[in-house]
A and B are shown apart, each in its own frame.
Chain A
């Protein structure tokens, strides 16, 4: 089930060199999480920080000429304008500047490990980033704020009529938009020609064929495992790569189980104590054989092929 979900999010990106790169679309949950983080950061910096500053200033200059009561109205007004402009540019600048940067992601997106990209391998342009961020306003914030206002109006027992339902419908329409298309695009993504993808972060793993029994004798017993044609022709690439993953990550107990399975399959008598060396040798020889076939254009996908 999990693997099938991954499949549904897998897309291919064709670079200008003609190389097909696999990319994975970001799950809707992480996008929602990223948005919540971003909004919290903005709201916090717009509300909490000025409030804190005001408190500190009030405390510091309580009796001095800088106390609030003594400040000229014009100065207060000027500060008010600064606050409005600051809020406006924070609101739009936060998303714009960060998504145009080399990471293509806001702080929230970076935290959940996703970034924006142009659909279908085109170049991401500033226009696209602007378009997708302008649309975010009517998708989420405009209906939310209107609903909030309506709620306050309704509490004062003024009639709001059908408007409440209209705004709720609007809000739900855009909120659920990503569920009604294959690439989980929101309205802003459609208008801008972008999508949101997972940011790959893989470290280069160790080379397997330079150590242990991949090269020859076992370190523990000194035995040199050698497998014949029949024993190596049982498994295919899928099993080889499963074995590779286990050699890199699994604890000895898991390796013992795999060792037993393979021994039974190839008709050997499973011993004990030297499982890792056996598996390393089997891995190296199986891979050598399959890669040799590969060079002649023969692929064996799995044990059933």
Chain B
């Protein structure tokens, strides 16, 4: 057997043919030789699965996979009790572990997951966070009121919230005409598309930050919400001074209903993780955090999609549609759409998902 066999020079998969079973002197080696073929077949299937997914594998092999996995697993438990061959044991442990990753691996690829996510998974995850959403909504409303009151008390707060920005007319003392003009549409669509992409990148960054900060027991997420909404409160106060609140609301509502909803959801997602870590209930902290983290991650993917929509709305319709009524119509119908999608859209989960 020591002489080099030509076939072993080619390919990694097929080495030399296994020796005759009867030729082995030890009982445990005969046990191994009897089962070696199955192990090698399993290994070959695993290599192909790891390389290119399920498509390249013959149906026969795919059907045989669970059985081969169980064969290898039972071989391992028998070998542990009867064999002292360390190399074989190490090989079997590695083989069973690799097979386990494939047999019990992620059940769906990314595309399939995305489809399930859009048709049911997303709205279900949002509904699971209802308590956090209520808290975050309360905090956001409170933040707006605080912003308004702060600026109403002392105008200096306005400059603290909006650091001086030369050329921006939106400051205390601005005339009604100036403010109205800042809500008007700009000339044509040139430059708006790039503007949208930049807005999207920026806004989704803020949202991911609000989510990720939930890790510190959710408090930074809430602070971020308060800060963002205080800006809105200050802006509302400014326009209220000139009796333009309705126009401002219309201007904001075009994209704001989507964007603020997205910020609300990401703050709630962050809060959800923070709450699970602070009050894990009967579960260990790590398990509670992991459970909450997975649930919130689903919501966050949705938030990124909402930010795409918001950025497109902010760049195009908001700047191109000038009429207050139409602006309210666009913003209001989007809000209605999101609410209906999250609250009313409840498809039954697929059987496989329900079992997971």
Identify the A interface with B (CB < 8 A): 13, 15-17, 19, 21-23, 73-74, 77-78, 80-81, 84-85, 88, 96-97, 100-104, 115, 117, 119, 123-131, 134-135, 137-138, 142, 187, 190-194, 199-205, 207-211, 214-215, 237, 240-241, 244-245, 248, 284, 287-288, 290-291, 294-295
Contact = CB atoms under 8 A, between A and B. Distances in A.
B27 interface: yes
Given A16-B104, A77-B193, A193 B286 contact: yes
Nearest to A23: B97
Contacts of B113: 100, 126
Contacts of B33: 207
Contacts of A97: 110
A187 B215 contact: yes
B351 interface: no
Contacts of B268: none
Contacts of B50: 102-103
In this complex, the interface size class of chain B, counting residues with CB under 8 Å from chain A, is 35 or more
Contacts of A73: 190
B90 interface: yes
B213 A81 contact: no
Contact of B201 (A88, A126, A190): A88
B26 A100 contact: no
Interface string B268-306: 000001000000000000110111111111101100000
B24 A210 contact: yes
SS class of chain A's interface: helix, strand, loop or mixed? helix
B26 A284 contact: yes
A19 B215 CA distance: 35
A88 B201 CA distance: 8
B264 interface: no
A240 B32 contact: no
A16 B104 CA distance: 9
B101 A104 contact: yes
Given A202-B94, A291-B83, A126 B106 contact: yes
B211 A134 contact: yes
Contact of B82 (A190, A202, A294): A294
Nearest to A97: B110
Given A202-B90, A244-B86, A291-B84, A210 B190 contact: no
A151 to B, nearest CB: 20
A174 to B, nearest CB: 9
Interface in B287-336: 287, 289-298, 300-301
Contact of A123 (B27, B70, B107, B301): B107
A126 B190 CA distance: 39
A248 B91 CA distance: 14
- The 4 A-B residue pairs with the shortest CB-CB distance, nearest first, are A193-B290, A191-B293, A200-B94, A131-B297
Contacts of B198: 84
Given A137-B212, A138-B209, A210-B29, 18 more contacts: A84-B198, A96-B110, A97-B110, A103-B50, A104-B105, A119-B286, A125-B356, A127-B295, A131-B293, A134-B208, A135-B212, A191-B289, A192-B290, A204-B43, A215-B25, A288-B25, A288-B26, A295-B82
Contacts of A287: 26, 28, 84-85
Contacts of B94: 200-202
B200 to A, nearest CB: 8
A209 B33 CA distance: 11
Nearest to A202: B94
A295 B19 CA distance: 25
B197 A81 contact: yes
24 contacts: A15-B104, A19-B76, A21-B97, A73-B190, A78-B193, A102-B50, A102-B101, A119-B286, A126-B108, A127-B297, A130-B297, A131-B293, A134-B300, A191-B273, A191-B293, A192-B290, A193-B290, A204-B43, A204-B87, A205-B88, A205-B91, A209-B26, A210-B23, A291-B28
Nearest to A131: B297
